[in-house]
Chains A and B, each alone.
Chain A
Amino acid sequence: MSFFGFDTTLPRDRALDRAQQSGSRGMFDQHDPFAGLSRDGGDEGEALNFDETYDGLGRQLHESGDTFNDDTFGDDAPVTRQAVGRDFDFAGQTARVRDTLLEEQTLHHARQPMQQAQAPRPARSGYEAYKQPEYIPKLEADASIWGKPVNRQPTAAAAQPTTQNVPAGRKMMSLEEVEAMMHAQSKPTPPVQDNERQSQGLRDMLGLGSPAMPQHPPQEQQRPTQILQRPQQQQQQQQLPIQQPTPDHSLRAPQILQRQHSPQPPRPQSQDFNRQPPPQQMQFQQPPQVPMGGAPPVQPPHVRHQQQSHNRGPSYSGPPITQAQQMMQMSGPERDSYLAEEAKRAKRNHKIFLLSKNNGLMTPQDKNFITRIQLQQLLTATGGVDNEPGSDQQLAEDFYYQVYAQIRGGPPRSGPAQPLNQFAQTYLFQTGSRYGYGRSRHHPRGGDNHVQRMEQQVARAVEAAKARPKNKHLIMEGSLGKIAFSNSKTPRPLLNLKRADSEARMRHTPRAATFDRKAALRDIEKMYSTLMRLEDHERKLPPPPHEDSAPDVIEGHMRWRSQMQELNQQLWESLKVMEPIQANPTSPHPFIQILSHGKGKKAIPRVFRHLDDQQRVTMLTLIVIHLDILDVIRDAYPAADNTPLPARVKEEVELFGAAVMPPLFSYVNEAPLNIIIGLLGLALDRVHVQGLVRTKVGVSMLTMLVSRAELVRQASAADPTQTEDVQQWQDLYARLFDTVEPVLPYIFPTDTSVSAADDVYVWQFLAAMGVGATPDQQQRLVIGVKDRVMETVGVSKTLPGEMAARRLGDVNLFMRAIGLDVELLG
């Protein structure tokens, strides 16, 4: 049966049905118009009989929508124009009143002021210019503004298309008048625009707005919008008289691309370039005219400013070339320079094109967004804006730069980082406020909230991860045992060890040599960590208290000072200078071992700053006593066969000279004579001086002591209280002299030839000795080194100028000290 329950079977089928079935069809048995076909076995070959298949449903349909057919389609009469009526013939109607309309139009335009005359007129596409027979591209019309030669032709060309538009003739003329005025004014002012051009060109490249032009703020606003936003220009243009209509737009876009092509021959390039700015210039022209129709004479200079300033600052100043004839008219060098200019410009534009191929992927808002987040993170990472430079948070962020800036004594601002923070703050504030205002209606979340939102997301993710039940072990069915998960904080435990420190400590294995080295390295590291703590603490120096400053300030200072002393003590201990000196040590003194490593040497200058005088002299004494054992001396004895020292040793020697000697020297220069005497006495007693002087370091040390002693002696020559010391010094000097004299010839470095030798330290030593020498001693000095002196003088004659002068100067150090001069030798 049918869905609605009425009987859908055909009458004959009903009869058959009743005959064949019990009659239960169910809902799904729709009436099948062809149901009876298969039953009629006898009708197989025959065509369908319509009457048998027709179900009569069509007759049951009652159409109701035909009532207005006659009205719609007309009566039975044939459809003619008259019968249908002509109410819809709008064009025809308009054609009848056209004349009236035109009259009204002209009257209206005549009455209105000129700017309103540029309202869009119907039925004029922008392409009319093209259809005109004498069509000359309007593009060149304004090129003439750039320079003198092309005056008449573009204006003539421009004049022609314009005059052909009858109703708008007056407005076109006004445009042409403006152009003419601009041409007239173009001549005197090309140089003014160069700078403008260049700066404007650069600004255009950077996509920034233009700077403030004092004359016309409205133009300013429009200029950036014109430069940067083409769609707006489109709108503005279409409102305006369609002399420079959409063809310019369509031409402009491909030309802008053309401009950035690979360099083309200069001439077509020049055409392109000049085709380029004119459309833009024309756009500049029109908007200014719209608001300031009443002041056309004032506009042209500024409009031209804008137009010409769009050029990318060519250094070829002068009228740009728009046509080939201009090229011919120029002289040879001018042409060359112009061509060179064009080539440079083409290259530069090609580079710009390559660089900017993928520009524009991010909107400025996107870029601002990212910048804001970065700046905010910078600020929060350094603990916010409130930190003074050198605060812990800032140091934690970027230690080395902060300290470096502090050492260099940054600019007189409050600190190197502070102004950056201020910049960041200002930027954030400005962009934030702008951002907030612009988007607050649509996005009630402000700028700051971006970072907060990100943090919230992270926090939510962490929470979710925590909340998820995370099994420490994974147990798969059928496996035997658990699979443990590990991360960085809880690595997979592979071994189960118990610390056995107590037993380990009791062992003293007799591995002396390696043991010492390890211990020395340990000492060095301990010293470095103490040193760094000390320097950190020093950085926290509180402001010096005065008499009447607050008690807690004084207390803070006191605390700082006591902490400083404690650290100083620790540092001193870590240096191991006070370790007892053993008579026959199996291994070097710990401090000397420290000095045997490069990193130990490097630490000495830093350490020295924090030591007091007593500690310094102790260190110096220790060094002097162990001069023989210092690696820079022990390993630096020249080889018997004059081979050069190994590079490692040379490095260490240099390092010693650069790192350790200067602080010692600075101390010695202020030391009293008795200390010097004591030190030198120790050296002579305990150190093998004759071996010592064959090394650079040894000689330098001796020079240091001797020169200081001589200085003091001369300074105190008049002072009677010092005579005892002076006498002592004299004796010591004599002893030193006698010790050194036999080895004088061997004092010079032998690993390289005379010409390449770096022997200035020897001459310094000799000079120091010579100053304090008696005439007899001086004689002996000269005899000792005479050969070398002659050799050096001879060699310096063959050397190039500067080197020769230097060598002679070195020798002269000694010669002058004993009252001679190299020039005496010829």
Chain B
Amino acid sequence: MAEAEEPGANPVNEPLDLVRLSLNEIVFIKLRGDRELKGRLHAYDSHCNLVLGDVEETVYMVDDEEQGDEVRTVKKQSEMLFVRGDSVVLISPQQ
């Protein structure tokens, strides 16, 4: 996805406006606690509280000195999720 600087037909006022563009799209969220979410963004607010639909949550866990990147992942599915904003690290459109 292109970066923030666009020729100014529709100026983006603040970073959260970019999130606005992703409404009703599949987004990828990274959360604190080594978790990631991928789902359809239905709602957000200035705290980055999110309402996501059809979410797949991935939890990354380390098992005592194991080497390697995706050591262990636990996946969970939810039909609808409300995410509290203070644990949201980043919001990105689907890769």
Contact = CB atoms under 8 A, between A and B. Distances in A.
A505 B1 contact: no
Contacts of B5: 504-505, 507
B74 interface: no
A472 interface: no
B23 A599 contact: yes
Nearest to B20: A525
Contacts of B10: 519, 522-523, 525-526
A511 interface: yes
A742 interface: no
Nearest to A503: B5
Interface in B18-51: 20-25
B5 to A, nearest CB: 4
Interface string B60-88: 00000000000000000000000000000
A508 B23 contact: no
B30 to A, nearest CB: 20
A67 B22 CA distance: 107
B15 interface: no
B2 A514 contact: yes
A517 B5 CA distance: 14
Interface in A574-612: 597-599
Nearest to B5: A504
A373 interface: no
A518 B12 CA distance: 12
Contacts of A623: none
A514 B8 contact: no
A132 B24 CA distance: 85
Contacts of B17: 525
Given A525-B21, A599-B23, A518 B2 contact: yes
A515 interface: yes
Contacts of A522: 6, 9-10, 21
Contacts of B9: 519, 522
A512 to B, nearest CB: 10
Contacts of B25: 521, 597
A514 B24 contact: no
Interface string A504-540: 1101110100110111011101100000000000000
Interface string A387-411: 0000000000000000000000000
Nearest to A517: B1
A598 B17 CA distance: 19
A515 B1 CA distance: 8
Contact of B2 (A515, A526, A599): A515
- Contact residues on B (Cβ < 8 Å of other chain), bracket: 10 to 19
B8 A505 contact: yes
Contacts of A526: 10
Interface string A480-521: 000000000000000000000000110111010011011101
A656 to B, nearest CB: 15
A518 B24 contact: no
A247 B23 CA distance: 73
Contacts of B21: 518, 521-522, 525
B46 to A, nearest CB: 10
A589 to B, nearest CB: 15
- Contact residues on A (Cβ < 8 Å of other chain), bracket: 10 to 19
Contact of A519 (B6, B20, B22, B24): B6
A509 B1 CA distance: 13
B11 to A, nearest CB: 9
Given A521-B21, A599-B24, A505 B7 contact: yes
A522 B23 CA distance: 11
B6 to A, nearest CB: 7
A600 to B, nearest CB: 10
The residue among A511, A519, A599 with the most chain B CB atoms within 10 A of its own CB is A519
Interface in A319-372: none
Contact of A511 (B2, B7, B23): B2
Nearest to B12: A522
A587 to B, nearest CB: 13
A597 B25 CA distance: 9
Contacts of A509: 2
A514 B23 contact: no
Contacts of B22: 521
Nearest to B3: A509
Nearest to B21: A521
Contacts of B8: 505
B58 to A, nearest CB: 21
B7 A508 contact: yes
A597 B21 CA distance: 12
A518 B22 CA distance: 9
Contacts of A598: 24
A507 B8 CA distance: 10
A490 B5 CA distance: 26
A795 B2 CA distance: 53
A523 B20 CA distance: 12
Contacts of A505: 5, 7-8
Contacts of B6: 515, 518-519, 522
A518 B25 CA distance: 12
Contacts of A504: 5
A597 B24 CA distance: 9
Nearest to B26: A648
The residue among A508, A525, A598, A599 with the most chain B CB atoms within 10 A of its own CB is A525
Interface string A527-562: 000000000000000000000000000000000000
A521 B10 CA distance: 10
The residue among B1, B2, B17 with the most chain A CB atoms within 10 A of its own CB is B2
B94 to A, nearest CB: 11
Contacts of B7: 505, 507-508
B19 to A, nearest CB: 11
The residue among A504, A521, A523 with the most chain B CB atoms within 10 A of its own CB is A521
B49 to A, nearest CB: 15
A519 B2 CA distance: 10
Contacts of B24: 597-599
A229 B22 CA distance: 62
B44 to A, nearest CB: 13
Nearest to A524: B21
A523 B10 CA distance: 8
B56 to A, nearest CB: 15
Nearest to A504: B5
Nearest to B46: A488
A364 to B, nearest CB: 37
A505 B12 CA distance: 12
A517 B1 CA distance: 8
A117 B20 CA distance: 86
Given A519-B10, A525-B21, 7 more contacts: A511-B2, A514-B2, A518-B1, A518-B6, A522-B6, A522-B9, A525-B10
Interface of A: 504-505, 507-509, 511, 514-515, 517-519, 521-523, 525-526, 597-599
A-B pairs, 3 with minimum CB distance: A504-B5, A522-B10, A521-B21
Interface of B: 1-2, 5-10, 17, 20-25
23 contacts: A505-B5, A505-B8, A508-B7, A509-B2, A511-B2, A514-B1, A515-B2, A515-B6, A517-B1, A518-B2, A518-B6, A518-B21, A519-B6, A519-B9, A521-B25, A522-B6, A522-B9, A523-B10, A525-B21, A525-B23, A597-B25, A598-B24, A599-B24
